[in-house]
Chain A
């Protein structure tokens, strides 16, 4: 006899925990989150945690990201301080011929009401005095910022638990079956039954989907990140590739590798990353690197979020995406609406799994 819940969420990372929290605000039925390890031990805990809108393409996806970024200030009121800072985001370019491309991007975004400035070299250096004076310019958006991922996920999780959500951690799901309209979730620590099931497994989505016979086309991308010693505050903005955290450490990462689920770090990439950081901010040459880590990120085959109902299987939902930190407040909100009201306040058909069929 298995334990029964109204809804089970598989995956307790930034996406799964956000959905759990947003559901728990209005939902008093039994809700269980199952995680194969522990929230933050996977993708959500190995990120620079930008809340990043600009330079996402196509423009409607940038718009989607913007709505999520807009929710961040309210999140703090509901779950507590997650150290969200809307610093503004800088994406530099070093060749003058890239200015045209930047202008086109700004124009494109202007049409949907996102203001992007194309900065001159002087404007970049006025904003970030420590930037390489050889910079040609940058695109700049006031919407971008960053958040403390550990606080974010911890607060989602705490608030969800306070609202009655159960978490089962270090518990890998090994099988999913259907029985008379119920989902039977078999895990290392026990078997659970639920009326509804949400798959929020990030980079493990493809493997998880196979258990129930669906294809969630998500690949893994490795990013290696360097952490400097704490430095006095000197970087004001979130720069594509690096940011300074509240404690003064600078997080640096540009790399994207195909390495499956291998989370090791390699000096080849670490040295490339360090060189690129010095190219952006020459003063970093003097900083000591205290550690390096790598994260496996989810990358859908077409780069865009996969959200909503799974076609052909009633009461099965999926939420898997790159940029989970940026999108988590919005995805949590929309999935809660979808489950409780049957419709969402923003259209999400574009993000349906059916586009891959």
Chain B
């Protein structure tokens, strides 16, 4: 007996929760599937202040935002399937959802894919030694699990996120020996954060890259290639920030077509202004629609939610159009403040809706 729902949202992070509110507050029955034990996605372990969020959200810390997003769903028709994953599709189009023991079909009228992003590593010789982890993993360990992953660390990469986590690691007593950036300047755009990093006395090296790591069974030292010389740091922790890429498996399975935009994280599903993919019943939200900031992630969730409401006729076309264009304006402001090139890439990506680079991936 298949479980039925109006809208299935794959991923209960900020984008999925924002979409769920738009849908459930207008009376649609929503089912959220997430492999974690709690809703909120990556926000749960984010202690940094998130400043630019769409209305009605005031600046707040990540974990507080996660709470706010889940709290407002409390009285609405929302079903959580936590500790569950989408693992495939049945012949009749039902989505297969699994916990650790069983698989069952879930029949949804519409699907919102809000699977978020996955971190990319930065490979170098011996990069798989224990003690070398991604920057996000380091943050999860300190803020969610209250475990300090090492005593002496080097951070490889300098995005806003990497700088945030470097400061958080320093706060819990990790000795940060260096921030290493391949480009000629730090990548973080948030001037206040960069100033904080400079004040903290953590050495930053630009035009620099890890040459190799060494260690018996775990990392013990790494060589950093500077423009003129190589320096060696003794470490038990190396945090890699290779940027993030959209998580694509769900869309791939659902047969959506794909394009490629470097600035949005590489391969990503095609979508139009409704955040609708070329599979009419499948919509996108959050980092799965291109890597961006938390404010943009929420805005895309809201746009997808409004579009699905329109598709299921709970709001009319005109109202949907009005809500959507207001949200897109807000999204543009949020995105162009720090990342104008990402916004440009998003526009290009939507213009390419009719010309995917990959489609019909299962037809050989």
Show the binding face of A for B, using Cβ within 8 Å: 37, 41-42, 261-271, 292, 296
Contact = CB atoms under 8 A, between A and B. Distances in A.
A267 B363 CA distance: 18
Contact of B364 (A42, A266, A269, A271): A42
Contacts, number: 33
B170 interface: no
Contact of A261 (B91, B103, B253, B364): B364
B96 A267 contact: yes
Contacts of A41: 364
B83 to A, nearest CB: 16
Nearest to A260: B363
B255 A264 contact: yes
Interface string B233-254: 0000000000000000000010
A295 B362 CA distance: 10
A266 B362 contact: no
B265 interface: no
Contacts of B90: 266-268
B77 interface: no
B323 interface: no
A41 B363 CA distance: 12
A319 to B, nearest CB: 19
A262 B360 CA distance: 9
B87 interface: yes
A263 B362 CA distance: 5
B114 to A, nearest CB: 21
Interface in B87-120: 87-91, 96, 103, 105
Interface string B339-364: 00000000000000000000000111
A262 B105 contact: no
Contacts of A265: 88
B364 A267 contact: no
A264 B252 CA distance: 10
A296 B88 CA distance: 19
A25 to B, nearest CB: 31
A262 B362 contact: yes
A149 to B, nearest CB: 16
A267 B105 CA distance: 9
Most chain B beta carbons < 10 A, residue from A267, A268, A296 = A267
Contacts of B87: 267
Contacts of A269: 91
Which 5 pairs from chain A and chain B are nearest by CB? A264-B362, A267-B96, A263-B362, A267-B88, A266-B91
Interface residues on B, range: 10 to 19
Contacts of B89: 264, 266-267
A116 B44 CA distance: 62
A270 B363 contact: no
Contacts of B364: 37, 41-42, 261, 263, 296
A270 B98 CA distance: 13
A211 B165 CA distance: 61
Contacts of A292: 88
A261 B363 CA distance: 5
Interface string B212-223: 000000000000
A262 B363 contact: yes
Contacts of B96: 267
Contacts of B105: 267
Contacts of A266: 88-91
A11 to B, nearest CB: 13
Most chain A beta carbons < 10 A, residue from B96, B105, B364 = B364
25 contacts: A37-B364, A41-B364, A42-B364, A261-B363, A261-B364, A262-B362, A263-B362, A263-B363, A263-B364, A264-B253, A264-B255, A264-B362, A265-B88, A266-B88, A266-B89, A266-B90, A267-B87, A267-B88, A267-B89, A267-B96, A267-B103, A267-B105, A268-B90, A271-B103, A292-B88
Contact of B88 (A42, A263, A270): A270
Contacts of A271: 103
Contacts of A263: 362-364
Given A42-B364, A270-B88, 17 more contacts: A37-B364, A261-B363, A262-B362, A263-B362, A263-B364, A264-B253, A264-B255, A264-B362, A266-B91, A267-B90, A267-B103, A267-B105, A268-B90, A268-B91, A269-B91, A271-B103, A292-B88
Nearest to A264: B362
Contacts of B103: 267, 271
A9 B319 CA distance: 60
Nearest to A257: B91
A73 B89 CA distance: 41
A165 B364 CA distance: 26
Nearest to B362: A264
A314 B89 CA distance: 48
Contacts of B362: 262-264
A157 to B, nearest CB: 19
A261 B255 CA distance: 14
B31 to A, nearest CB: 17
Nearest to B94: A267
A268 B91 CA distance: 7
A269 B89 CA distance: 10
A13 B298 CA distance: 47
Nearest to A46: B364
Contacts of A270: 88
